[in-house]
Structure 1
Amino acid sequence: MLKKFRGKKSYFRNLWRRSTAEQYDLDFGSEGWFDLWHTHLDFYGFGNNSLKIRREHIKAHIALYNGLLEKLQTFGKPYQSWIELVVEDAGLDAVYIHTPNPNEDNFPLKIENVNWDCTVPNDFKDLINLNEFNVGHYKWESNNSYIIQSKNKGIRLQNSLKESSIIYKKV
């Protein structure tokens, strides 16, 4: 039996506070870069217990993503940014930013076997404006991951080739 989720009102008030781009002090200076930087808004996976709670977190991820895209307009360097939703674990849902970086030559990021012509699950299909966003699906280990990415801002995530010696996967 699941424990009752107490303090929902303050939890969701804080969730929406954390979903504004102003909450993140991102370094957009001349030396600024991002190596798969990401943030999880449902770190404890509360969305696993209720579709209503999961959908609220997805809405918050989309709001944060849109705010970060606005901030990235002033970045002046190439970047990739996306939302990743992991069907099996809401705690893994995150918003990502990735740029060329000194840590590794992994830009633009390539992910194995992304299907950009996937069917968007009914659980969150109505939350995503398909005129604004591309949605892709891929399997990672036993997880089903959906990528939501702007059609017009940033560099699109690319499919990697199976023959490639280096395959970058989710961190």
Structure 2
Amino acid sequence: MDKRRLKRMIRYWEKCHARAMSNIDRCDWNSWFDLWHIHYDYKAKGGRVENKPYSYFLGYQLLRSVEERCKSRADPFQCFLSIHPDAHNDAVYMHTENPNPNSPGFPYLFEDVEWGVTDNKSLNTVIDANTHKIGKVDTDEYKYYIVIRKTKSDV
């Protein structure tokens, strides 16, 4: 990537970060969440091979920011990062017990996820394997990845 394009992309990711953090900062972190999420790559530039590491890094950074804000919660919560082939669908999720009768329930079970995958080298270099685990969902149409904090049983 040439210098001009790199500068442009760095500005883009900074803008994505600022926009996402603005939305995150507006949340009431003591409220309930029903798979609340934020799509951070609003122009889907993370879909290009040379941009994927930047997109993964931003998503992981936002995931850790959401996790940090939830530490003061008295009730249990789940935060996770979802990474799709179409970068526009990449999102950071927050989930708690909630009153919605149509909710998938809490905790979200991740039934179709194969945990401990290492086939996405770019993603593996960004995620801290000591604190988070990577899972993959392989559907008939495409595969996508889930990143979530490890629990005591994972260590």
Structure 1 unaligned regions, length at least 5? 157-171
In the alignment, structure 2 segments of 5+ residues that lack a partner are none
Matched ranges for 1:6-17 at <5 A:
7-17=8-18
**1:66-85 equivalence runs, <5 A:** 66-85=64-83
Normalising by the residue count of structure 2, what TM-score does the alignment of the two structures yield? 0.81
How do 1:56-135 and structure 2 match up within 5 A? 56-86=54-84, 88-104=85-101, 106-135=105-134
Structure-2 separation of matches of 1:13 and 1:111: 31
Aligned partners of 1:127 and 1:85: how far apart in 2?
A: 13
% identical aligned pairs:
27
Give 1:43 deviation, angstroms. Answer: 2.5
- Shift in Å, 1:124: 2.1
1:21: Cα distance to partner?
Answer: 7.4
Alpha-carbon distance change, 22 to 46 in structure 1, aligned in 2, over 3 angstroms: closer
Q: Following TM superposition, by how much is the alpha carbon of 1:125 offset from its aligned partner in structure 2, in angstroms?
A: 1.6
- CA 1:37/1:22 → structure 2, altered by over 3 Å: closer, same or farther? closer
Higher helix share: 2
C-alpha deviations, 1:4-62, integer Å up to 9, x for none? x7953532321232354784312133xx10000001111231122x2232221211111
SS in 2 for 1:109: coil
Query: Aligned in 2, Cα 1:43/1:141: closer, same or farther, shift over 3 Å?
Result: farther
Could you tell me how far 1:120 is from its partner in structure 2?
A: 3.7
Give the CA deviation at 1:152: 4.5
Please show how residues 17-32 of structure 1 align to structure 2 within 5 Å.
17-20=18-21, 23-29=24-30, 32=31
Give distance in 2, aligned partners of 1:78 and 1:23: 19
TM norm structure 1:
0.74
- Classify the secondary structure of the residue corresponding to 1:124: helix
How many residue pairs are counted as aligned between the two chains?
A: 146
Q: What amino acid is aligned across from residue 95 of structure 2 in structure 1?
A: H
